[in-house]
Amino acid sequence: MRYLLIDRITEWKAGERIKGLKSVAMTEDFLEFHFPGNPVMPGVLLLEALAQLAGWLEAVSSDFMKWFLLTKVRSGRFYGFALPGDQVELEVKALPESDPDKRVYAGLGTVTGKKKISAQFEGELVSLGDLEDIAAQRKYFQILTRK
């Protein structure tokens, strides 16, 4: 199963930062069992959403030649639940200790200004063409950015 956890990309600056949105819908299958009768978005999926947003930053910054793959979570804190109907505002910023082979990011997720997750994570850059069809990813990015 594959979860695409970024619903919209609202802004970015190549090589530096990116912002996006995740709308939590009651119909998402992960809510059925997490938790029965009290649905909340799993915190690990909020972390995955930040990693996916970092992937989009690497893609747009490299003319869709590279993608980010998470290898290590340096720190992660959860501050509350993202519930059905919430719109999680996500932001990822490149940290200075990044280099050509490894990227380090700080990520933050909030709902109506209230922090839900903060994390520092790192990963490697891989060829996007080895994972996905590049033309299809360019088109999907246009959909996500409404451009």
What's the confidence (pLDDT) of residue 24? 97
The boundaries of the domain holding residue 58 are 8-141
CA dihedral 117, 123, 127, 128 (to 10 degrees): -10
Q: Which residues contact 44 (CB under 8 A, 6 or more apart)?
A: none
Sign of the CA dihedral running 30, 35, 38, 42? negative
Q: Which residues contact 2 (CB under 8 A, 6 or more apart)?
A: none
Average pLDDT over residues 17-33: 94
More confident residue, 31 or 68: 68
Q: Is residue 3 part of a domain?
A: no
Is 111 marked active-site? no
Q: Is residue 132 part of a domain?
A: yes
CATH assignment at residue 63: 3.10.129.10
Average pLDDT over residues 61-76: 97
Tally of domains within the chain: 1
Q: Is residue 146 part of a domain?
A: no
Q: Is residue 147 part of a domain?
A: no
Residue 36 has pLDDT above 90, yes or no: no
Q: Is residue 83 part of a domain?
A: yes
This prediction has a pTM of 0.96
Q: Is residue 70 part of a domain?
A: yes
Residue 1 has pLDDT above 80, yes or no: no
Pick the catalytic residue: 8, 17, 34, 102? 34
Q: Is residue 131 part of a domain?
A: yes
What's the confidence (pLDDT) of residue 34? 85
Average pLDDT over residues 53-73: 98
